[in-house]
Structure 1
Amino acid sequence: MTARPREEDFTRGSPHRVSDVMTREVVAVGREAPFKDIVVRMEQWQVSALPVLEGDGRVIGVVSEADLLPKEEFRDSEPDRSTQMRRMSDLAKAGAASAEELMSAPAVTVHSDTTLAEAARIMALRHVKRLPVVNAVGVLEGVVSRGDLLKVFLRPDDDLADEIRREVVDRLFPAPVEPVHIMVTDGFATLTGRVPDAARIPLAVRMVRGVEGVVGVDCRLTAADG
């Protein structure tokens, strides 16, 4: 008797990684970079944050627009004691003059083999828009932004349909009662057809949702005995 395949036997091929979408040409600053130079570089490169490097390119922190704004916010005001207690870090940055004094450290980073889903979770949890990508010893390799993570939704519909066919349908339903039709329109996948095993239909839906770039799923598969 053939053993019934388990759900873990149907895991998809390798998901997209940070290395697939990250920006490799990155502007960064050293720890001694002056305040104005940081602002100039952000404006020139149209970025909201810069990695701060030392030595051979190891990331030691990140300086963002949020780190720079206190200098303007507190320029002509004398905060009361309550504000001073609540915003000691911001007040310190208001008087900062270099990247080392301004940066948030340690930097929140990822490795190039991090999945896009995990990178998205880190951004959400840490409330950051960009993540430096580092190697095993912390040397900068690139930067991944929120916009980079959304690039998977630019995948052509035909590519998505091909992956759904290859990684989901052909693996879960190798002998369908009738051909399973896959239509992807603007990232929305629709599956129709009759399959021999109703128990695998919910799994098929989960797997299709897991395909990078799929926006939604309309599963119209029915069981042969249904």
Structure 2
Amino acid sequence: MHTVRDVMTAEVFSVTEDTGYREVAEALVTHGVSALPVTNGEGRVVGVVSEGDLLHKEEFTGGDYDPPLRARLRARLGAGGSAGDKAAARNATELMTRPAVTVASDASVVLAARLMERHGVKQMPVVDGDGNLIGIVSRRDLLSVFVREDDDIAEETRSVIREILPEPIATVEDGVVRLTGEVEHRSDVEKLIHRVRQIEGVVAVDSELRWHADDVVPQHVQWRAGTP
């Protein structure tokens, strides 16, 4: 199973708590990113400042920004600014969203994807055990695990199911695994499908497996059997 460390970007740009508003804006534009981790003096992630946070600044569409910078910011973020709680912010501490949604480098890509979905973020700082910034991971990074050759997926699939089927029959096309063959018990089929779905790069599993003995008792039958 791939971990966040396998797909993250180790070269990550960040700002400190006392980084000024203009410097934050320039960093976003210069590095072509939508958000930056904010770290304290010890390198720990304390928040994230994003384009959305900067949009609260009323002076965004005017003020003392020189024309080139203002034009680039407006092009990236869209014209117009809005007032809000962060309108008077002067540095990253006052701009940032806290606490930051972070992920450990040894977390699975599945967990990272769930965190992003749950919190509605497009990227997350990657931290070590002490909360220090060591990388950044984006949705695109997580999707990279699905860009895998069908032959590689088929080989791993056969390895996984070989303990149940002496000659596993598995074909893969565009990440969709097709299983055929015969097994002794129906429960083996369910176990196989579950395990194959966990293989990285698998989009779906189509099973044509057949079984000799149905050892899966329907839930309603179990309930009736346990009824006094």
Do they superpose with TM above 0.5? Answer: yes
- Is 1:118 the counterpart of 2:106? The answer is no
Residue in 1 that maps onto 2:4: 18
- Residue range with higher mean Cα deviation, 25-34 or 189-198: 189-198
Residue in 1 that maps onto 2:195: 207
Match of 2:14 among 24, 28, 52: 28
Distance in 1, matches of 2:41 and 2:159, equals: 46
SS at structure 1 position matched to 2:56 = helix
Distance in 1, matches of 2:49 and 2:25, equals: 10
Aligned residues: 194
Equivalent pair of 1:74/1:91 in contact (CA under 8 Å): no
Amino acid corresponding to residue 182 of structure 1 in structure 2: A
Unpaired segments ≥5 residues, structure 1: 1-14, 77-89
Pairwise CA distance, 1:21: 0.6
Distance in 2, matches of 1:156 and 1:97, equals: 49
Residues 31 and 225 of structure 1: CA distance in aligned 2, closer, same or farther (over 3 Å): closer
How is 1:1-226 mapped onto 2 (pairs within 5 angstroms)?
15-72=1-58, 91-167=84-160, 169-171=161-163, 173-175=164-166, 179-224=167-212
Equivalent pair of 1:191/1:219 in contact (CA under 8 Å): yes
SS at structure 2 position matched to 1:117 = helix
Distance in 1, matches of 2:104 and 2:168, equals: 38
Distance in 1, matches of 2:46 and 2:114, equals: 22
Unpaired segments ≥5 residues, structure 2: 63-82, 215-228
SS at structure 2 position matched to 1:96 = coil
Distance in 1, matches of 2:2 and 2:97, equals: 28
What whole-Å deviation, never above 9, does each CA across 1:169-221 have from its counterpart, x for those lacking one? 113x143xxx3321111111111112223221012112111111111111111
Equivalent pair of 2:162/2:168 in contact (CA under 8 Å): no
Pairwise CA distance, 1:93: 0.9
Distance in 1, matches of 2:58 and 2:108, equals: 37
Pairwise CA distance, 1:139: 0.7
Residue in 1 that maps onto 2:73: none
TM-score of the superposed pair, with normalisation by structure 2? 0.79
SS at structure 1 position matched to 2:140 = helix
Distance in 1, matches of 2:172 and 2:59, equals: 49
SS at structure 2 position matched to 1:199 = helix
Pairwise CA distance, 1:66: 1.5
